[in-house]
Amino acid sequence: MPEAPKSNYTLPLLLSLFLALGLYFGGLLSHGFSNNTEKAADVQKLEDILDLLENRYVDKVDKDRVFEETISEMLHKLDPHSNYIASKDMAAVNESIEGEFGGIGVRFLLLRDTICITNIIGGSPSEMAGVKAGDKIIEIEGKSVVGKKITNEKVMQKLKGLAGTKVKFKVIRGKKYKLFSLQRGAIPLETITCAYMLNATTGYILIDQFSVPTARDFNIAASRLKEMGMTKLVLDLRNNGGGVLTAATDIADEFLKEGLIMLKTKGRKSGEQIYKSNSGGLLENTKTVVLINAYSASASEILAGALQDNDRAIIVGRRSFGKGLVQEDRLLRDGSNLRITIARYYTPSGRCIQRPYNGKYEDYMVDEERFSNNELYVQDKRLLADSLKFKTLKGRFVYGGGGIQPDVFVPFDSSGTSFYLTSLQFSGAFTAFSFDYVSAKRNVWKDAKSFNEQFIVDEILSRKFINFAAIDFKVALNEKEYQHSRNNIAKILKAEIARQIWTEEGFYRTINPLDNELNTALKELK
């Protein structure tokens, strides 16, 4: 009799077993161990089961992998944001928190199986050594890095390392080869994606995430814009998934007069903690609009909620994600990390904006109900019920029940969208074509302002792009959908070309004038 495929039976059985174990130990976490003897017996039981599976189970068991998956399943039965982080993933986690990593200071993309440098970070080892945008890395430490086996992860593994360590790599520039030997430096993660003036009086700051240096970098950006004449601000928190809580409260403090509540946290063991503003905020008199959407979460919601409840900003966009739980990191003996929820946070008006959770992690993260309720286009009136009302400092009504509700709802702009456009975006064709295009024209435009005013993506260039996408990225042309989306295609292509030359600020300077939510924010600031 032929052997049944292992993938059909083995994994589900193991996962079922370990899920049951997870539920069991989840219950122990919820109610606590009665004494050390009971704790020791339960731990020993788990070890006995793991040993039996490893030694006697019909198929080979990756005990470590299944055990780690079990821990995550166990934690997700308690709440959606408690999590287990394996030791191998801790370096990346620490980088996002600390806001820097050891590296050479380049941005790159993989194009035709080659590492293509798109931008050089200012002040980095690469800039000081003369590495240039457009260079293509072909060797690292004497070994070829050209070919289909190379991945983004492998490139970063080779180029990143402890600050002070050295790395050698060879590039091709035009038809010439250049060898570089660099000492890695501390490279900042740029959480302030861009900051510039939208007009003579209105500044724009986009925060990508919240790490330790974010508040400092925000102050630098805001101070620079104030020197340029900023009296009004659009603060863009769309797609910002959060990060370090104190970075959010430190930024909120810059908008608020002394002694105002920014945030409360309450936990069974951690007690109640109240965060209040200090005196001397940089932006206390700056009229502000905050942009949010369904992917604005955690620290983004803390900042938006603090400004909304204290009547310091108008919130524009769509309901935020709804993460109102505070986590604490605990390092385990093997270098892994337990990120466990220790408190709920409440906005100044008393709102806990955590969304309801039924124990189904995947459903919670996808939040299909939001889409089934057509919330992209119409504000969900059920979340504006009297039972969910709270009052701001000046008596305006705001709403709890899950996420930050905007003061001004802006429906998602679906005009010009199509499956063909989505396919182009996910394929990477825009970035690749822009890199090739800019390689020969990098020094043609003086600045992003003149580029925006003078450069036009005409039909000839658009056709070159879609032919490129069809040949190099296998995105077959759909003429009907192309005609429907041609304006959006031209808009995105122009912005991506600008990004290749002036990084993120170039992209947003180009794309923002056509952004409905941003234009609504500007109307609110008049």
Task: Please determine, for residue 5, whether its predicted confidence score (pLDDT) is greater than 80.
Answer: no
Element (H, E) at 151: none
Predicted TM-score (pTM) of the model is 0.87
In contact, 484 and 468? CB cutoff 8 Å: no
- Distances in Å between the Cα of 172 and the Cα atoms of 77, 122, 124 are 52, 21, 20
Biggest alpha carbon distance in the chain? 81
CA–CA separation, 522 and 519 (whole Å): 5
Task: Give the per-residue pLDDT at 174.
Answer: 86
CA–CA separation, 68 and 55 (whole Å): 19
Tally of CB atoms within 10 A around 125:
23
Candidates 136, 232, 264, 323; catalytic one = 323
Q: Write the DSSP string, 30-82.
A: HH--SSHHHHHHHHHHHHHHHHHHHHHSSS---HHHHHHHHHHHHHHHH-SS-
Average pLDDT of span 313-334: 94
What lies within 8 Å, CB to CB, of 54 at 6+ separation is 61, 63
Q: Which pair of structure tokens corresponds to residue 28? A: 């122990």
Tally of CB atoms within 10 A around 484:
17
Average pLDDT of span 160-179: 94
* pLDDT single digits (tens) 244-302: 999 999 999 999 999 999 999 999 999 999 999 998 999 999 999 999 999 999 999 99
Task: Please determine, for residue 486, whether its predicted confidence score (pLDDT) is greater than 50.
Answer: yes
The rounded radius of gyration (Å) of the Cα atoms in the chain is 26
Average pLDDT of span 305-325: 97
Task: Give the per-residue pLDDT at 36.
Answer: 66
In contact, 167 and 155? CB cutoff 8 Å: no
Candidates 124, 209, 327, 405; catalytic one = 327
CATH architecture group of domain 100-188:
Roll (2.30)
Instruction: Tell me how far the alpha carbon of residue 120 is from its chain's centroid.
Output: 21
Does the annotation mark 298 as catalytic? yes
Task: Please determine, for residue 4, whether its predicted confidence score (pLDDT) is greater than 50.
Answer: no
Q: Which residue has the tokens 């070309």?
A: 497
Query: Which residue type sits at 409?
Result: F
Element (H, E) at 97: helix 90-98
Task: Give the per-residue pLDDT at 381.
Answer: 87
Return the higher-pLDDT residue of 326 and 55. Answer: 326
* pLDDT single digits (tens) 8-43: 434 444 444 444 444 444 444 444 444 567 767 777
* Percent of the chain clearing pLDDT 70 (strictly above): 93
Does the annotation mark 323 as catalytic? yes
Average pLDDT of span 141-148: 91
Q: Which pair of structure tokens corresponds to residue 390? A: 């709270």
3-state secondary structure of 360: coil
Task: Give the per-residue pLDDT at 28.
Answer: 45
Average predicted confidence (pLDDT) for the chain? 89
Task: Give the per-residue pLDDT at 389.
Answer: 94
Q: Which residues pair with 436 in a beta bridge?
A: none
Task: Give the per-residue pLDDT at 147.
Answer: 87
Task: Please determine, for residue 124, whether its predicted confidence score (pLDDT) is greater than 90.
Answer: yes
Q: What are phi and psi of 442, to 5 degrees?
A: -60, -35
Task: Give the per-residue pLDDT at 1.
Answer: 37
Return the higher-pLDDT residue of 452 and 507. Answer: 507
Average pLDDT of span 384-390: 90
Task: Please determine, for residue 184, whether its predicted confidence score (pLDDT) is greater than 80.
Answer: yes
Task: Give the per-residue pLDDT at 386.
Answer: 87
Task: Please determine, for residue 440, whether its predicted confidence score (pLDDT) is greater than 80.
Answer: no
Q: Which residues pair with 408 in a beta bridge?
A: 316
- Indicate the domain borders of the chain: 6-78, 100-188, 192-412, 419-522
Average pLDDT of span 441-449: 77
- 49-63, 230-244, 498-512: range with lowest mean pLDDT: 49-63
CA–CA separation, 500 and 434 (whole Å): 7
Average pLDDT of span 66-83: 87
Candidates 298, 300, 320, 418; catalytic one = 298
In contact, 355 and 403? CB cutoff 8 Å: yes
Instruction: Tell me how far the alpha carbon of residue 415 is from its chain's centroid.
Output: 25
CA–CA separation, 490 and 455 (whole Å): 11
Q: Taking Cα atoms as reference points, which of 42, 45, 84 lies closest to residue 66? A: 84
Task: Give the per-residue pLDDT at 94.
Answer: 86
Q: Taking Cα atoms as reference points, which of 318, 328, 341, 327 lies closest to residue 402? A: 318
389-391 and 397-399 as β-strands: parallel, antiparallel, unpaired? antiparallel
Q: Which pair of structure tokens corresponds to residue 515? A: 């952004």
- Write the burial class of residue 60 (CB in 10 Å: 0-12 exposed, 13-18 middle, 19+ buried): exposed
Q: Which pair of structure tokens corresponds to residue 237? A: 């928190």
- Write the burial class of residue 90 (CB in 10 Å: 0-12 exposed, 13-18 middle, 19+ buried): middle
Task: Please determine, for residue 403, whether its predicted confidence score (pLDDT) is greater than 90.
Answer: yes
CA–CA separation, 88 and 63 (whole Å): 16
- Classify residue 404 by its DSSP letter: P
Q: Is 259 left (phi over 0), alpha (psi -120 to 50) or beta?
A: left
Task: Give the per-residue pLDDT at 241.
Answer: 95
Task: Please determine, for residue 469, whether its predicted confidence score (pLDDT) is greater than 70.
Answer: yes
Task: Give the per-residue pLDDT at 483.
Answer: 97
* pLDDT single digits (tens) 327-378: 999 998 889 999 999 999 999 999 999 999 988 988 899 888 888 889 999 9
* 49-58, 86-95, 235-244: which is most confident: 235-244
Task: Give the per-residue pLDDT at 30.
Answer: 45
CATH code 3.90.226.10 for 192-412: yes
136-140 and 106-111 as β-strands: parallel, antiparallel, unpaired? unpaired
Q: Taking Cα atoms as reference points, which of 194, 206, 297, 210 lies closest to residue 517? A: 206
- Write the burial class of residue 132 (CB in 10 Å: 0-12 exposed, 13-18 middle, 19+ buried): middle
The domains spanning 100-188 and 192-412 adopt the same CATH topology: no
Task: Give the per-residue pLDDT at 441.
Answer: 74
Query: Which residue type sits at 482?
Result: Y
What lies within 8 Å, CB to CB, of 422 at 6+ separation is none
Task: Please determine, for residue 525, whether its predicted confidence score (pLDDT) is greater than 70.
Answer: yes
